[in-house]
């Protein structure tokens, strides 16, 4: 079957291969190439790169930016960006979207900041300080019935001079502290996070009127420590106890700064009533050739350290709880010395810590590491940082023996034992 028009929405640039596959397929099912339209995130961030690889034309087939005014795709007065999302899609896929029971909306668009690591200034270049959601909610309810929670996708709601009006409207549509739907509590989630640099007592007082859960705060670098701690303490003072924070790493930070930010949350948890958990988020470029995969390594990081962090947070499904200091010490180390030791551990030893601790392999790895002389240790670290564990990568017997730990396969080892039995 051939279609008059085919629209392709691109997601993040690291899905580049899938994006190209989708466009190649779309070319096969559209009657004429003039009826193929490509937009979305990757198309907005890398339009020329996409045009080069697909032979499409920017402005004709590739449509960068928001569809926030009439006439972009058709000669009519419809503003596509303001249309009610098709919530029925959530019922047609097997994946259960964690926020699928909520209204998805914006009360602002864009951001007041120009952070160099962020795509928002390109995707939403004009800051819109006020978007009424009352009509949006009514349209959703009419088409799909009432939904439990309110998920706000604003990139920087606290930067709006209309913030008090935004809170007033959220309260007006029914999201008060005691709000329930079908006997279940309702929550408001500013899903993209709040900017701690804008937080003061008045803004927290306004936020505390909402059933906010969780309050997400960005802690992008250690330089924000004072403002971040102030935001957390104010939230605690006004009874907002469930807190989450995004921790950007692998950008311009050093590996120790990730541990230090998590440790700050451990200390705040001890001091306050609040329950704080962290989401470490690995930076990857959004533009250019480097953005085509997630393999980017920041200038102060290396491949092994990034893999080690991934191993640890995979166990916790991306969440780091800081209300359990014993777990944190076990997972990330009680000190920076222990933290760097864990980052150097073989991946299998990190994934299956109990097993390798119990059979003594972790201690043997530690002893061999400490017994390497300066030159051997330097060589071993250079190889390990670059994920080079083969016997072809060194002639040193001590280093070769040490690298055997990095060639261990827990599943193979376990299978051999089971076969032996």
- The domain ranges of the chain are 6-54, 80-334, 348-420
CA-based torsion, 150, 153, 154, 158: positive or negative: positive
Identify whether the C-beta of residue 206 lies closer than 8 Å to the C-beta of residue 195.
no
Q: Does domain 80-334 sit in CATH 3.10.20.30?
A: no
In which element (H, E) is residue 277 found? strand 275-282
- Quickly state the pLDDT bin for 417 (edges 50, 70, 90): low
Query: What would the mean pLDDT of 299-318 be, rounded to a whole number?
Result: 92
Q: What is the pLDDT of residues 213-256, one digit of tens each?
A: 999 999 999 999 999 999 999 999 999 999 999 999 999 999 99
Query: What would the mean pLDDT of 117-128 be, rounded to a whole number?
Result: 94
Phi and psi (nearest 5°) for 276? -110, 130
Phi and psi (nearest 5°) for 221? -155, 165
Q: Which of 166, 101, 175 is nearest to 133 (CA)?
A: 166
Query: What would the mean pLDDT of 71-78 be, rounded to a whole number?
Result: 93
Question: For residues 107 and 206, what is the distance between their CA atoms, to the nearest angstrom?
Answer: 15
- Quickly state the pLDDT bin for 91 (edges 50, 70, 90): confident
Identify whether the C-beta of residue 87 lies closer than 8 Å to the C-beta of residue 131.
no
Q: What is the pLDDT of residues 43-53, one digit of tens each?
A: 999 999 999 99
At 170 the pLDDT is: 98
At 395 the pLDDT is: 80
Q: What is the pLDDT of residues 151-180, one digit of tens each?
A: 999 999 999 999 999 999 999 999 999 999
- Quickly state the pLDDT bin for 98 (edges 50, 70, 90): confident
**Matching residue, tokens 């102060």:** 300
Q: Which of 160, 158, 133, 159 is nearest to 147 (CA)?
A: 133
Better pLDDT: 25 or 318: 25
Question: For residues 153 and 107, what is the distance between their CA atoms, to the nearest angstrom?
Answer: 8
Highest mean pLDDT among 22-31, 315-324, 349-358: 22-31
Phi and psi (nearest 5°) for 186? -105, 150
Q: What is the pLDDT of residues 352-378, one digit of tens each?
A: 999 999 999 999 999 999 999 999 999
At 361 the pLDDT is: 96
Phi and psi (nearest 5°) for 396? -75, 125
Q: Is the bond into 226 cis (omega within 30 degrees of 0)?
A: no
- Quickly state the pLDDT bin for 394 (edges 50, 70, 90): confident
């Amino acid at each position: 079957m051939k279609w008059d028009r085919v629209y392709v929405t691109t997601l993040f640039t690291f899905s580049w291969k899938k994006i190209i596959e989708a466009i190649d397929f779309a070319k096969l099912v559209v009657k004429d190439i003039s009826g193929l339209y490509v937009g979305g995130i990757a198309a907005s961030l890398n339009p020329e790169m996409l045009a080069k690889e697909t032979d499409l034309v920017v402005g004709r087939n590739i449509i960068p930016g928001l569809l926030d005014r009439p006439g972009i795709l058709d000669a009519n007065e419809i503003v596509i960006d303001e249309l009610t999302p098709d919530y029925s899609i959530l019922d047609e896929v097997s994946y259960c979207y964690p926020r699928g029971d909520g209204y998805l909306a914006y009360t602002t668009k864009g951001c007041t900041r120009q952070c160099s690591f962020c795509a928002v200034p390109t995707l939403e270049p004009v800051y819109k300080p006020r978007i009424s959601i009352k009509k949006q909610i009514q349209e959703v309810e009419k088409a799909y019935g009432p939904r439990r929670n309110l998920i706000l996708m604003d990139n920087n709601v606290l930067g709006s001079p209309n913030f008090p009006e935004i809170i007033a409207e959220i309260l007006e549509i029914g999201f008060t502290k005691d709000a329930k739907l079908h006997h279940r509590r309702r929550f408001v989630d500013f899903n993209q996070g709040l900017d701690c640099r804008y937080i003061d007592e008045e803004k927290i007082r306004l936020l505390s009127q909402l059933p906010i859960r969780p309050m997400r705060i960005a802690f992008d670098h250690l330089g924000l420590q004072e403002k971040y701690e102030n935001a957390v303490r104010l939230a605690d003072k006004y009874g907002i106890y469930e807190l989450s924070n995004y921790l950007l790493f692998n950008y311009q930070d050093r590996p120790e700064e990730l541990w230090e930010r998590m440790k700050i949350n451990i200390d705040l948890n001890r001091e306050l009533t609040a329950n704080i958990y962290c989401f470490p988020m690995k930076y990857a470029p959004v533009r250019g050739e480097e953005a085509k995969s997630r393999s980017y390594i920041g200038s102060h990081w290396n491949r092994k350290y990034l893999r080690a962090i991934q191993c640890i947070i995979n166990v916790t499904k991306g969440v780091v709880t800081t209300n359990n200091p014993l777990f944190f010490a076990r997972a990330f180390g009680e000190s920076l010395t222990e933290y760097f030791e864990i980052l150097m551990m073989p991946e299998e030893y990190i994934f299956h810590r109990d097993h390798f601790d119990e059979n003594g392999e972790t201690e043997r790895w530690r002893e061999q590491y400490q017994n390497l002389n300066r030159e051997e240790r330097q060589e071993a670290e250079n190889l390990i940082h670059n994920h080079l564990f083969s016997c072809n990568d060194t002639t040193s017997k001590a280093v070769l023996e040490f690298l055997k730990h990095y060639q261990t396969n827990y599943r193979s080892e376990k299978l051999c034992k089971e076969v032996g039995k």
